[in-house]
Structure 1
Amino acid sequence: MQILAISTPRTVQEAELLQRHHQLRARVFSDRLGWEVLVVDGGEADVFDQHRPTYILAVSESGRVVGCARLLPATGPTMVLDVFPALLPDGQLKAHPAMIESSRFCVDTSLAEGKGEGSIHEATFIMFAGIIEWSMANGYTEIVTVTDLRFERILARVGWPLRRIGEPKKIGVTMAVAGILSVNSEVFLKLRPGGYRSQIKSCLGRVA
């Protein structure tokens, strides 16, 4: 399993991986979680996919997309501000140029590869490390995101605690909360699993 970062696809293979990532989003957010999201031709997408985000993908040895996240500069259109202002103090986000938003994070936990004895799939740790590595390589120091309380507990358990910027509120069927995650080499090295492979040109050097 390895990490890729794709914005505008440069090859047919990258375009295919992005399509598989939209299909993974549909399986997780629509089929499994029952969110009210738009699914067309088996793939989930929304207006924020039109703002040239960077997608962090975890890809298995067979070419299957097993994890994904969408990253957008927090100073531009973001889900946290434009879709979930109720989760922010006074509906405002104190964004700055070194803040990135992460959204549409998901992992295919049914994959046997990377499923160990622990309750957290290895692909989750690979995705965490990939998001942090890309963020550091591009000058970001903070990640803002909206998540549910279950995933907030997972972040705390692995040692990457979410700093809440508002109180949790029920959004649809989910108790959601907005918060900020720190980006630095210490947390990257803590979360990076053994054998982590990435095609991101990191400020830590190429990770083999």
Structure 2
Amino acid sequence: STQGTTMEVIAIGPHDRSRDPLLVDQMHRLRARVFKDRMGWDVTVTEGQEFDQFDELNPTSILVVDRGVVVGHTRVLPTTGPTMLSETFSFLASSGAYAPHPRMLETSRFCVDTSTARLTPDGIHLATMTLIAGILEWADLGGYSEIVTVTDVRLERILRRVGLPLRRLGEPARIGNTIALAGIVDVDAQSSQRLRPRQYKSTFTKLNQAA
């Protein structure tokens, strides 16, 4: 049964892209399906793949892979450099609310293939929970204390349901057919452990972090 197979969380760093071209290709296709087709955001899609200028900053991508297929993705950037919130979505943060620091990480382009209907006992998509748990583990391993993100109210509700409240940085605004907002989530080892689905598996190591 599909219940028996574990979704795996992997990180693709700036130096891994040529090593995992199939996963990178799938990741950009998933982003196109979610942000262009489903959410109606004004994003650039080329040959079925979504790219933006932040992909050129050597980000790390965190992927959820289910039997060789990418079913979840988020992109991670340090807030000490340019971020989506500082460059593209600054209108979502009230004046002075966004104060980046070296232990803050930005996640962007959070997306999940919700056609894979495997749910957690709480009724949340398994890929979504696995991706949230993966982001927390990655941030915790890297010594980060906060994650800032631009997301939509739907994901904010999911985070609240699993006990991970988002501190809003400003008023929500309509983008495409979603209501977007900027917020911060606290990172700690306890949440990272608590939110892992039963069969959680990641390939992160301290080594990845240093790369």
Q: TM-score, normalised by structure 1?
A: 0.90
Note the aligned Cα RMSD (angstroms).
1.9
Asked whether 1:57 is paired with 2:85, we answer no
Q: How does 1:143-182 map to 2 (within 5 A)?
A: 143-182=147-186
1:139 aligned partner, one-letter code: G
Structure 2 residue 206 is matched with structure 1 residue 197: no
Give a deviation string over 1:160-205, Cα, whole Å, max 9, x none. Answer: 11011212223344322211001111111121011111100169xx
Percent of pairs with identical residues? 50
Partner of 2:54: 48
Is contact 1:85–1:92 with CA below 8 Å preserved after alignment?
no
Query: Are 2:113 and 1:74 aligned?
Result: no
Match of 2:9 in 1: 3
1:110 aligns to 2:115 (yes or no): yes
**Matched residue type, 1:122:** L
Aligned equivalents of 2:121, 2:12: Cα separation in 1: 31
Give the CA deviation at 1:93. Answer: 2.4
Q: Which runs of 5+ in 2 are unaligned?
A: 1-6
Cα deviation for residue 117 of structure 1 reads 6.1
Aligned pairs, how many? Answer: 201
2:133 to 119, 125, 129: 129
Q: TM-score, normalised by structure 2?
A: 0.89
User: Structure 2: how far apart are the matches of 1:101 and 1:7?
Assistant: 15
Report the residue type matching 1:182 in the other structure: D
Conserved in 2, the CA contact under 8 Å of 1:57 and 1:69? Answer: yes
* Paired residue type of 2:61: Y
Shift of 1:8: 2.3
1:206 is matched with which residue? none
After superposing on structure 2, the runs of 4+ consecutive aligned residues of structure 1 that deviate more than 2 Å are: 8-13, 114-119, 169-175
**Which amino acid in 2 is paired with 1:96?**
H
User: Is the partner of 1:77 in helix, strand or coil?
Assistant: coil
Cα deviations across residues 95-120 of structure 1 (Å, max 9, x unaligned)?
A: 000000000001111114x3356431
Given that residues 137 and 202 in structure 1 are in contact (C-alpha distance below 8 angstroms), is that contact kept between their aligned partners in structure 2?
yes
Structure 1 residue 11: Cα displacement: 7.0
**Secondary structure of 1:31's aligned partner:** helix
Aligned to 1:48, the other structure's residue is in SS state helix
- Give how far 1:36 is off: 1.4
Give the residue type in structure 1 aligned to 2:143: G
- Structure 1 residues 102 and 10, CA gap change in structure 2 (3 angstroms): closer
Aligned-residue offset at 1:71 = 0.4
Q: Which residue of 1 aligns with 2:39?
A: 33
Name the CA distance, whole Å, in 1 between partners of 2:35 and 2:78.
23
Specify every segment of 5 or more residues in structure 1 that has no aligned partner in the other structure, as ranges: 204-208
Higher relative contact order (CA 8 A, sep 6+): 2
